[in-house]
Structure formats: structure tokens, C-alpha cells
Structure 1
Amino acid sequence: MHRPKDAVERLEEAVRWIHRLYLASVMHVEALEDAGVLPGSSEREAAEIDRELHFRLMSAQIDQLGYVPKGLAKRAEIRREMAAQGAALAEQSNSRPSRSARALARAEGPVRSA
């Protein structure tokens, strides 16, 4: 069966996207295992369900496509992206005073009476 080229390209891109999600969910499960989170805990079970869901979606899309496309993500790419996101969040939180720092600044201001 012949499919239009743009439909095939969209499906390949969808496979690449869901593969990234699957790989990230696998890495999350592994991180929980390394952190000693026990099987059966709600956090671990949620991560396992995410991993299984992403795997099934990826498998279904690969079956529909009929082959595994080139250009799938690698763990190192995911790690770099996660590190960059973490650094951006850390920078963002460092640039804004925390709630306690803002409260302290307000408390140190002049006291006005009514």
C-alpha cells in the first residue's frame, strides 16, 4: 500500500517523538531504582505505567509505519536536554528571591502605624 510522502514523514516524526518520551520514561524508572524507590510505591508504579504506555504507543506507530525510522534519540541527548532544563530552572530560581527572602525584605522595612 502506497502512502503519501508527507503522511510517512509525519508518522516517522511521531515515532521519533514518542521514542524520546519512551526513553525518558525508561531513564526515570532507572533513576527511581537507583534512588532505592521500592517497587509498589505510588511513584514507582506511575513511572512504570508511563514507560509501558510509551512503549506500547511507540510499538503501535512503528507497526503502522512498517519500519524503524532513522534519527531516534540516544540517552546522551536526553541527558543533555535534562541537564540544560535543570540549569535553566536553577538559574531562574537563583535570579528571583525566594518567598522567605521576599518576606524577610518586607519585614525589615519601616514599620508604619495607623
Structure 2
Amino acid sequence: MGDRLASAAAAGDTAGVEELLRGGAPVDGLNRFGRTPLQVMMMGSTRVARLLLEAGARPNVADGGTGTTPLHDAARGGFLDTVQTLVRFSADPGARDHWGHRPADLARDVGYLDVATFLDSL
């Protein structure tokens, strides 16, 4: 079920995520690549993020290879609504990847100053 939930989250399939969670899919179940649904979700899909987080997904799970968290990914993509949702559910804006970058640093590097400013204000 981990692969199915991760696939639904990656596609931004809100109805599919809801159905799988209701059916007992583990919210932090790993897909075949060892990543959780929150890590692979479509970052612009705030509703999917909220569903996973409300079901208990861990917002600070880091990628083993890069050290990035879902907050890093959402910030780098410029998805302010998703960033705000992750922060509301205790995502750590001070988390650093393997190169020492915080989510705000990544947002700033690619020009998402609204995201960087929000994260820096926390």
C-alpha cells in the first residue's frame, strides 16, 4: 500500500489519497524507493499535504541522499501555500540539508523571495 499512497500523493490525487488513508494505508509507508508519500507528493498540492499531515505524516523526514525535507522541496519549488501548511504541522524551517542549506536558502537561490521572506520571519 505504500507505493499506492505515494503514487497518489505524487500525482496530486486528493481523492485517491483520501481513499487509501481511509483504507488503512500507512501514512509514512515507504515506496519502493524508500520515500514516504509526503516526500514524493506533488508539492503544489496543498490539499494532499494537509491530508497526509492530518493523518500523522512526519513533516521532517529527510531524504537519505540529500538531507532535504519536504519543506526544502516545497520552498525550492516556490509553493508558499504548501510551505505554510508544512510549517503549521511543525516542519522545521531551520533544517539543513547535507550542504548546510535551509529551506529559505533554497527558495532565495531560485528567486522565490516571498517563500524565503516567510521562512526567515519564523
Q: TM-score, normalised by structure 2?
A: 0.27
Higher helix share: 1
Using CA pairs under 8 Å that are at least 6 residues apart, name the structure with larger relative contact order, 1 or 2. Answer: 1
Structure with the greater alpha carbon radius of gyration: 1
Q: TM-score, normalised by structure 1?
A: 0.28
